Amino acid sequence: MRRDHRPYVLKRLDIEFQRWYTGHFLRPQFYHLGKAPLFMKPWYVEIFGGPIELGSYANVIATSDKKVRITVWSNAKQEGKIKIGDYCLICPGVRIGAATEITIGNSCMMAQSAYITDSDWHGIYDRSLSIGQSAPVKIGNNVWLGDSVIVGKGVHIGDNSIIGAGSIVVKDIPPDVIAAGNPATVVKNLDPVRHIKTRADWFANARKLAAEFDKIDRLFLKNNTFIGWMRSVMFPRRGD
C-alpha cells in the first residue's frame, strides 16, 4: 500500500499495544531496559541469554522476515554480556551475538541486517567447539553501521565513524572516519570543523518530538475511516 489507511485512533491503539507488549514480554528479558523504548513489531524481537542491557530512547524495528536477535551464549559462568547505550537505532534483521562482551555506545545506528559478533562460534581446528575464539567488541558513540555490515571479534570502532554498506570489519577503525570494503579500510576522514548532530540531540526534547509526530499522524490520518481501512485490507485496489 502507498499510504496508511488506518483511522488515527486505530493507529494510536496499535502503538499503545506495542508499548504494552514491550513492557510485558520484552522488558523482563533484559537485565536493563531504559526509559521510553520504541519497539516496532516487538513480537519479532528475540532476546536470549544475558545480561543484556539496552539504554533509554532506543528505537528497535523488526519485521516478520527480518527479526532482530540479541543473544548471549557463553561456555563460562560470569562471562558473556551485551551493553547498548542510549538513543540507539536497531533496524530489521540486526543480529548481535556475544560469547565474551559487546559494548555499543550512545546514539549508534545499526542498519538492516547488520551483524555484530565477538566470536568465531566454532573452533578452527576443532569444529565441535561451540564458541571458538572470542574477543570483546567495542563500538564507540554515534557510530553508523550500514546495511549488511559485519563486525567481527576483537574489533574497536571509534566515535562518529561510519561503516559502509556490505563491509566486513576485522580490524580496528579509528574515530571520525568513513570505512568500507572487505576487509574494511578507511576511505575518508570526516571534516573536523563540521558539527555532527546525533540522535541524542534529536531526542533532547523527547516530549516535543513525540507531540510533533502525533501532530503529523493526526494530519495525515484525519480523513481515514474504519470502513475505508477495512476496504483497503479486504479489497485493495490500485492507488492504495
Catalytic residues: 122
Taking the C-alpha atoms of residue 102 and residue 118, their distance in angstroms, rounded to an integer, is 7
Grid coordinates in use for 108?
549508534
Which among 18, 13, 74 is positioned nearest to 48, based on CA atoms?
74
Q: What is the Cα Rg of the chain in Å?
A: 20
Grid coordinates in use for 128?
565441535
| 21 SS3 class | helix
Q: Are 4 and 221 in contact (CB under 8 A)?
A: yes
Which among 30, 34, 31 is positioned nearest to 46, based on CA atoms?
30
Q: Are 163 and 127 in contact (CB under 8 A)?
A: no
Taking the C-alpha atoms of residue 33 and residue 158, their distance in angstroms, rounded to an integer, is 24
